[in-house]
Amino acid sequence: MEHLGNLLALDANVTAVADPHPPSRDEVQRAWNSHDAGPALREFETHRELLSYDLCDAVVVSSPNMTHIDILADIFAADIHVLVEKPLCTTVEDCLKVIDLAENSDYSSVAWVGMEYRYMPPIARLIEIAASEILGNLRMVAIREHRFPFLHKVGQWNRFNHNTGGTLVEKCCHFFDLMDTIMDARPEQVYATGGRDVNHFDEIYDGQQPDILDNAYVVIDYPNRTRGMLDLCMFAEATRNQEEVVVVGDVGKAEAFVPEDIVRLGLRGTHNIGNVETEVITDDNIAFEGGHHGSSYLEMARFFSAIREGAEAEVTLLDGLWAVAVGVAGQVSIEKNRPVAMSEVVPSSLLGR
């Protein structure tokens, strides 16, 4: 529904929706019709039916994680542009298959992995600051997400690791992608600790209790003794900010806060504790706020630009693979109670790429 709002705000010609769940199709149809944006959408139960009618130049894949690999295979065969929601797939193996399909076929369109956190205005400003070298040599990046539990979804598919890849893949691939982007590097090792300690104990689906994590710490080693850290809590909605992102270099420190939309910058020798520069960040280009502070709208606009200009995706399939791989390494680290080298998770040919 958020992507539909983005498309409406961008005056896109939306032609069809495919979903095996009739109430979901009905909801999209009602929203489309209420905007009087054009003829009623064609409805299909499967993506294959939609693709067979040659109705569109681009598709948005916002289906459950475990369905992405099969859907993408058919999209690549059709050679149309795609924005696929995170995570790219639930396993590194499936991500590798997707990349292989794209690279060893006649696919020539834009394949973009949805990582809208890059485009949240305060976080985008933080990325800009980090890239400017004003902070000096970057040494550490830390991200805290304290938020509400997982939302209810159709069939509660998001309650189980085998459908999602695990919480560190499903929810946290955003943050691992952000860390890679800020540090301009790929991880070397991951150590994580976490568990399911508060949420979902009163839920049973088809005789099974959910097995997704609801809290974790993840520490990531990057090259040259640089580091990242994630602090995730899914039962902490009683909070001022849902996301806090901190980048520290040997010259200074910058922080971004969402939804306060504030960025703070302090430089050693110029500022002191309690005395730093504060900037309120807004973006007048946001035409639809949605549930992600306008970031998914900004990302969709960039996706459109890439299509129109014949440019590469800003968030590539390889970026999507690495975000999943760090999540997988974190899940393995928790299970085995030890650090996990990325060489255990990613083929040697991709290390550092």
pLDDT in tens, 18-48: 999 999 999 999 999 998 878 889 999 999 9
Cβ–Cβ < 8 Å for 231, 143 = yes
- The residue behind tokens 């791989």 is 325
- The residue behind tokens 């390889």 is 318
pLDDT in tens, 253-281: 999 999 999 999 999 999 999 999 999 99
**What sign for the dihedral angle of Cα 67, 68, 73, 75?**
positive
Predicted local distance difference test score (pLDDT) of residue 86: 98
pLDDT in tens, 109-138: 999 999 999 999 999 999 999 999 999 999
Cβ–Cβ < 8 Å for 244, 257 = yes
| Residue type present at position 59 | V
- CA 23 from chain centre, in angstroms, equals 26
* Position 90 confidence tier, pLDDT thresholds 50, 70, 90: very high
Q: Kindly report the number of other CB atoms within 10 A of residue 127's CB atom.
A: 20
Measured between alpha carbons, how far is 104 from 97 in angstroms, rounded to an integer?
10
Q: Got the DSSP string for 7-45?
A: HHHTT----EEE-S-HHHHHHHHHHHHHTT-SSPPEEES
Nearest to 83 by CA among 317, 309, 267: 317
Residue 295 host element (H or E): helix 295-309
b/e burial code for range 307-345 (CB count within 10 A of at least 16 → b): beeeeebbbbbbbbbbbbbbbbbbbbbbeeeeebebeeb
Cβ–Cβ < 8 Å for 113, 315 = yes
Predicted local distance difference test score (pLDDT) of residue 304: 97
Percentage of the chain lying above the pLDDT 90 cut: 97
- The residue behind tokens 């890679």 is 180
* Position 315 confidence tier, pLDDT thresholds 50, 70, 90: very high
Predicted local distance difference test score (pLDDT) of residue 92: 98
Q: What is the mean pLDDT of residues 191-220?
A: 97
Measured between alpha carbons, how far is 21 from 78 in angstroms, rounded to an integer?
24
Question: Could you tell me the pTM of the whole model?
Answer: 0.97
pLDDT in tens, 132-191: 999 999 999 999 999 999 999 999 999 999 999 999 999 999 999 999 999 999 999 999
Predicted local distance difference test score (pLDDT) of residue 352: 87
Cβ–Cβ < 8 Å for 346, 143 = no
Q: Output the CA–CA distances (angstroms, integers) from residue 92 to 71, 107, 134, 167, 181, in the order listed.
A: 17, 21, 35, 15, 19
Q: What is the mean pLDDT of residues 236-246?
A: 98
Nearest to 163 by CA among 232, 98, 74, 94: 94
Q: What is the mean pLDDT of residues 90-102?
A: 97
| Residue type present at position 304 | F
Q: At what angle do helices 295-309 and 2-9 cross, to 10 degrees?
A: 60
Enumerate domains of the chain plus CATH numbers.
2-115 (3.40.50.720), 117-285+317-344 (3.30.360.10)
Q: Output the CA–CA distances (angstroms, integers) from residue 129 to 120, 133, 241, 244, 305, in the order listed.
A: 14, 7, 21, 15, 24
Predicted local distance difference test score (pLDDT) of residue 39: 87
Measured between alpha carbons, how far is 17 from 63 in angstroms, rounded to an integer?
12
Percentage of the chain lying above the pLDDT 70 cut: 100
Q: Residue 230: is its pLDDT beyond 90? A: yes
